[in-house]
Amino acid sequence: MAKAPLAITASKLTKKFGDFTAVDDVSFDVQQGELFALLGPNGAGKSTTIKMLTTLLRPTSGELTLAGHDVAKAQDSARKSFGIVFQDPSVDTEMTAYENMELHAALYGIRGSEIKARVQTLLELVELWDRKDALVKTFSGGMKRRLEIARGLLHHPHVLFLDEPTLGLDTQTRNLLWDYVKRLSQEEGMTVFFTTHYLEEAEAVANRIAIIDHGKLIALGTTKELTKQTNTKTLEAAYLELTGKTVRDEAPGRGDEWRARHRSRSMR
């Protein structure tokens, strides 16, 4: 029997903005069903990496597959295979929670009879079923994030991308959110790829952790492997050992600045 395809393969992934290299020759594989964290200081190349993985940016060079689909050659199959919760909200706040789900179903070609049951299951999972007909603009930040997770799961993705999903959420919501994610990953064998600045989350949730800095992948392994490699006791200590203690620029990364000057020329 053929082995299940890897959930994500990135090979020599590189993204240049003009003469600035935001992501530099990054390679890694993620197994199906794995919980994988990508960590790194501000401006290290996390966002650029996740944008390339989710087809929002085209790599300058390198290869990328999602659930066995080549992102460059089979873009639509690759797009069907993942769901994403963006760092900033991306729900339509002038529509109801249910309408947002319906819109997503239409975009992903999910048929009529299937939709109702699936939407109900997911909205119940994130505890929003009783608010399904309320306009999303009446939701709190945490509720919007939960809706986005439910929406991202609607089309049964192989891979769920979460870009700093717990940013700005209170501890209760954060715990709840990771509970759903872990449960789903176990129940549906779904791969989860996430970025976060909270190292304790990465330590508690991720099977493996990749650390990126200055566009380069500088470490990859389990928490144990990373602490052993750096001769430290906690993931946080290992992370600081690897990336240094200097505070990084909070301003938009150089990639963003470059894009602001040279718009367009991205992807179809």
First-to-last CA distance in the chain?
36
Question: Please, what sign has the CA dihedral across residues 167, 171, 176, 181?
Answer: positive
SS3 227: helix
Least spacing, CB of residue 208 vs another protein, in Å: 24
Closer CB to another protein, residue 161 or residue 239? 161
Question: What is the residue type of 139?
Answer: F
- Strand ranges in the chain using DSSP code E only, listed in sequence order: 8-17, 20-30, 35-39, 61-66, 69-70, 82-85, 159-163, 191-195, 208-213, 216-221
Question: With CB under 8 A as the contact rule, which of the stretches 75-83, 165-173, 202-210, 220-228 interacts with another protein?
Answer: 75-83
Structure tokens at 122: 């997911």
The answer to whether 223 touches 209, Cβ cutoff 8 Å, is yes
Structure tokens at 136: 């999303």
Please name the residues in contact with 68: beta carbons below 8 A apart, sequence gap of 6 or more: 5, 6
* Cα distance between residue 30 and residue 64, in whole Å: 12
Single residue of 13, 71, 84, 206 touching another protein by CB under 8 A: 84
* Cα distance between residue 162 and residue 86, in whole Å: 6
108 binds another protein (CB under 8 A): yes
Single residue of 92, 124, 170, 179 touching another protein by CB under 8 A: 92
Chain centroid to Cα 173, Å, comes to: 18
Single residue of 106, 204, 218, 251 touching another protein by CB under 8 A: 106
Other C-beta atoms lying within 10 Å of the C-beta of residue 137: 11
Pairing of strands 159-163, 82-85: parallel
Question: With CB under 8 A as the contact rule, which of the stretches 10-18, 22-30, 76-84, 240-248 interacts with another protein?
Answer: 76-84
Least spacing, CB of residue 86 vs another protein, in Å: 6
Question: With CB under 8 A as the contact rule, which of the stretches 7-15, 28-36, 84-92, 171-179 interacts with another protein?
Answer: 84-92
121 binds another protein (CB under 8 A): no
Contact characters 38-67, another protein, x per CB under 8 A: ----------------xxx-----------
Closer CB to another protein, residue 1 or residue 260? 260
Contact characters 239-268, another protein, x per CB under 8 A: --------------------xx--xxxx-x
Q: For Cα atoms 103, 48, 202, give the angle at the middle one, nearest 5 degrees.
A: 85
Contact characters 5-44, another protein, x per CB under 8 A: ----------------------------------------
Least spacing, CB of residue 204 vs another protein, in Å: 28
Binding site for another protein (CB under 8 A): 54-56, 75-77, 79-80, 82, 84, 86, 88-95, 99, 102-104, 106-109, 151, 259-260, 263-266, 268
